[in-house]
Structure 1
Amino acid sequence: MKQRLVIVGAGFAGMYAALSAARLREQENVSATELEIVLVSQKPELVIRPRLYEPDPGRMTAPLGDVLGAIEVTFVQGEVEEVDTVARSIGILEAAGTRRSLTYDRLVITTGSRLFRPPIPGLEEHGFSVDQLEDAIELDRHLDGLGARPASLGRDTVVVAGGGFTGIEVATEMPARLRRILGNGSGRVVLVERNPAVVPDMGPTPRPIVQDALRTLGIETRLGVGVTALDKGGVTLSDGGRIESETVIWAAGIRAAPLTGKLPAERDNFGRLLVDRDLRVPGLKDVFAAGDAAQAACDNAGNHALMSCQHATRLGAFAGNNAAADLLRLPLRPYHQEAYVTCLDLGGAGAVLTRGWDRRVELVGAEAKAYKAEINTVWIYPPRPERATALASADPEQVTRL
């Protein structure tokens, strides 16, 4: 009897779920007609989201059609709007505006995350971001157009709201970018962070390196304050201060994509589906979740996978494998991911690489920057569209062994 495994989302987790499921199918000598693997997404491409803070973000995509074809995974174009876990079907809105349903025997939710935009007055109208490809392209065009505007304090000032990983990478990219657009000596970058320190999640060990980079690049910091309002000319801060700026970039947190809220299952404060060690959603025996859509324990020490491509790729590989294994009546592999590194781009000041959950600094400056460049230009891209190569890349135990 033909069985169907459906994966929703073509991000890092979705791509590796498809690769890993196809890998197991081939290992077990099961044909694509016996076990159909379907990937549903709005486009047959991987958005290289970790690079959207760089100039020319429109080039930060990689086609998936040839890879999926090589491993006999069916691509269905559209957006999944509904999940019926009783009927085991999903509702898809197609590009033409038509709707269709698709049944599944096992479902893997890998819908990723979205920027969290609180109801701050003016944020929707006047805030930029690098969250999705379209957002990054809009910001890129805006920045490139600044040079044609009349010189003013607002034109020459970029405010980055959020001093976490994304905020730091965006902010440290800006000084060189503004010099190219406005000329040497022009441009002011202000980083606003509600916490009393930048990169609060990185801890105290690498923080001095990040702080030194901000000082070296001339980036101002406003710590312990938040943004309370935006308008066309700038931002108002929670301490009553105001910064004149025509470019305010919001980088203050993410949440799981909304589809997770359509499932009758428990979620965490980020909207992620709680999953067991096999990445199955408790209470929904036919549904697995991975990537930014899942809250998963990655070791026995109390650490949980972060909303990052590093964790998403391995989560996806385990989820795809386990969903296929469940259909084929094979043992499932408990997800684990003890190794963890952080490589934070610091723009013209290089980068910093830490290893382990205690953030031990391993590389700084140019060496760390070279490591970051290899991650960004090689490691996170899809495998070559050759069947053997693509399937070999998706061994759950080998994915993301940094």
Structure 2
Amino acid sequence: MPKKSVLVAGGGYVGMYAAYRLQKALRRQIRNGDVSITVVDPRSYMTYQPFLPEAAAGNLEPRHVVVPLRAVLRDVHVITGRITGINHEQRTALVAPRSGGEYALQYDELIVALGSVSRTLPIPGLAEVGIGFKQVEEAIQLRNHVLDRLDLAESTTDEAVRRRALTFVFVGGGYAGVEALGELQDMARYACRYYEHVDPAEMRWVLVEAADRILPEVGEDMGRYTVACLRDRGIEVRLNTLLKSCVDGHVVLSDGSRFEADTIVWTAGVKPNPVLSATDLPLDEKGRVVTTADLRIAGVENAWAAGDAAAVPDLTGAPGATCAPTAQHAVRQAKLLGDNVARSLLGKPLREYRHKNAGSVASLGLHMGVAQVYGIKLRGWPAWFMHRTYHVMRMPTLNRKVHIIGDWTLALFFPREIVSLGSLQRPREEFRRSALPRQYEPGAPERARVGSGG
């Protein structure tokens, strides 16, 4: 077998699992030097995004919802950098490391696993004040920010500042928005018991959704139940409503509402990684790489794709249908992708991606959820338990599974952590103030202006 180099563009769930399956299937060839695998991603870890809401709420340790790539991919070269362009005709990818110049990386086989990014709109103020929710760093920041707003509300005497601090807006009624809102409201209400002057009833939580329902994946009736459940908890659910502006935290909605908010979380969908437009690969109208059912890129040799960045035919759906960008598809496609690339290199027949929809599960906070699994509809505690069970089973590596179950078990015996580590966003601020030259009032004594160390 001649030496082959495989480039995996992206180290998310699809990229990591595809590389892992390749590493496992081609272990002998890799150790003999016949095959080399390289993964390129801006982060040195994979984030399991379905657990981000629980990490933001403090139910899970943030380090336990990520998997270090180098720990899992022992026989794979991991490069921490960004893919900025791909010329597949010349079998070349451009890599921009964290520091230093951009360079070209040659390969024989390409796996496109670049995933998706937040789909934003040109809304005034959104780029300046909005908070995303796709990465673990954003989940940590959001948790710290919410608790910091409670600290501010407890400490200020300005009623306008207090109302603004206690107003939390989530834009987008899909999984990410509903689950993040449910978990964080649950956490904030719990935290209020430690604040003498902050009552849970004073907090204002608003969910803004452009469509006429939320969580369409769980069915229309379960979506209505979710809306009713959220409203029973005091959450304002604004359907058929758009965010028009949020300049300096002044929120303007399409229904005419105007109010101030310190927290605006954007979870209104995703779009394929824009890096794909800097490639010579075939893209569909949504900017996704077009693939065949066996996950090869259509009309291109030695190139593969899956996940949010790929338009994979849905063989179980209507003619021309493609798979939705969901975690369920990513989990299943990742394994088949790795196996098919290995089969191709070993001269074995490929398999097509076919799936049987298992259903959908969503958490609405501690002990609350909705689910539709194999036609069976669940709500409340059973749905919440199924959500946790399903996702911990899908979490890569036994190490992380054990840590996550351990976090949940400890939470049965100990109260939530409600510490706000907001200074993590500015870890050098205190040192910087100490190191900068001091500013003194005009006319201050010369001895005070010139430190003598004594």
TM normalised by structure 1 equals 0.87
**Residue type of the partner of 2:235?**
I
CA distance in 1, matches of 2:100, 2:62: 25
* Residues 93-114 of structure 1, C-alpha deviations (whole Å, 9 max, x = no match): 1122332222111100101111
Aligned residues: 378
Letter paired with 1:66: A
| Larger of the two Rg values belongs to structure | 2
* Alignment-derived partner of residue 103 in structure 2: 100
Between 1 and 2, higher relative CO (CA 8 Å, sep ≥ 6) is seen in 1
What does residue 334 of structure 1 align with? 352
Aligned mates of 2:264, 2:310 — CA distance in 1: 30
Larger helix share, 1 or 2? 2
SS of structure 2 residue aligned to 1:211: helix
60, 64, 69: which one aligns with 2:69: 64
CA shift for structure 1 position 343: 0.8
Q: CA RMSD in A?
A: 2.2
Matched, 1:367 2:366: no
Q: Which shows bigger deviation, 228-237 or 112-121?
A: 228-237
CA shift, 1:276, in A, is 0.5
Quote the residue 1:41 is aligned against: 41
Residue pair 1:106, 1:286 contacting (<8 A) in 2 also: yes
Secondary structure of the residue aligned to 2:19 is helix
* 1:111 counterpart residue number: 114
Consecutive unaligned residues in structure 2, runs of 5 or more: 193-197, 401-454
In structure 2, the partner of 1:172 is 182
Question: Which residue, 155, 161, 176 being the options, matches 2:171?
Answer: 161
Contact 2:85 2:276 (8 Å CA) reproduced: no
Q: Check the 8 A contact 2:85/2:275 in 1, yes or no.
A: yes
1:75 maps to 2:72? no
How many angstroms apart in 2 are the aligned matches of 1:191 and 1:242?
14
**1:218 alignment counterpart:** 234
What is the match of residue 223 of structure 2?
207
Alignment correspondent of 1:30 = 29
What secondary structure sits across from 2:29 in the alignment?
coil
Q: Distance in 1 between matches of 2:30 and 2:182?
A: 50
What whole-Å deviation, never above 9, does each CA across 1:168-201 have from its counterpart, x for those lacking one?
Answer: 1122123223221544433111111111222244
Q: Displacement of 1:267 after TM fit? A: 2.6
Query: What percent of counterpart residues are identical?
Result: 29
Tell me the secondary structure at the aligned position of residue 164 of structure 2. coil
Query: Aligned partners of 2:184, 2:203: CA distance in 1, in Å?
Result: 9
Shift of 1:369: 1.2
CA gap 1:334/1:378 in 2 versus in 1, 3 angstroms? closer
Per the alignment, residue 50 of structure 2 pairs with 50
Which consecutive unaligned segments of at least 5 residues does structure 1 have?
A: 386-402
| Equivalent runs, 1:246-257 vs 2, <5 Å | 246-257=262-273
1:348 to partner: Cα distance: 4.0
Cα distance in 2 for partners of 1:37, 1:306 equals 28
Local SS of the residue matching 1:153: helix
CA–CA separation in structure 2 for the residues paired with 1:269 and 1:202:
27
Distance in 2 between residues matched to 1:293 and 1:280, nearest whole Å: 13
Q: Which moved more, 1:262-271 or 1:284-293?
A: 262-271
For the 8 Å contact 2:172–2:267, the answer to whether it is kept is yes
**What is the Cα deviation at residue 349 of structure 1?**
5.8
* Deviation at residue 229 of structure 1 after TM alignment: 0.4
SS in 2 for 1:134: helix
Aligned counterparts, 1:188-267, within 5 A? 188-267=204-283
User: 1:258-301: per-residue Cα shift (whole Å, max 9, x none)?
Assistant: 22222223333442211101111112212111111111123333
What is the alpha-carbon distance in structure 1 between the residues aligned to residue 390 and residue 68 of structure 2?
18
CA distance in 1, matches of 2:184, 2:30: 51
* Secondary structure at 1:65 match in 2: helix
1:16 and 1:52 map into 2 onto residues whose CA distance is: 19
Does the CA contact (< 8 Å) of 1:217 and 1:349 recur in 2?
no
Counterpart residue number, 1:284: 300
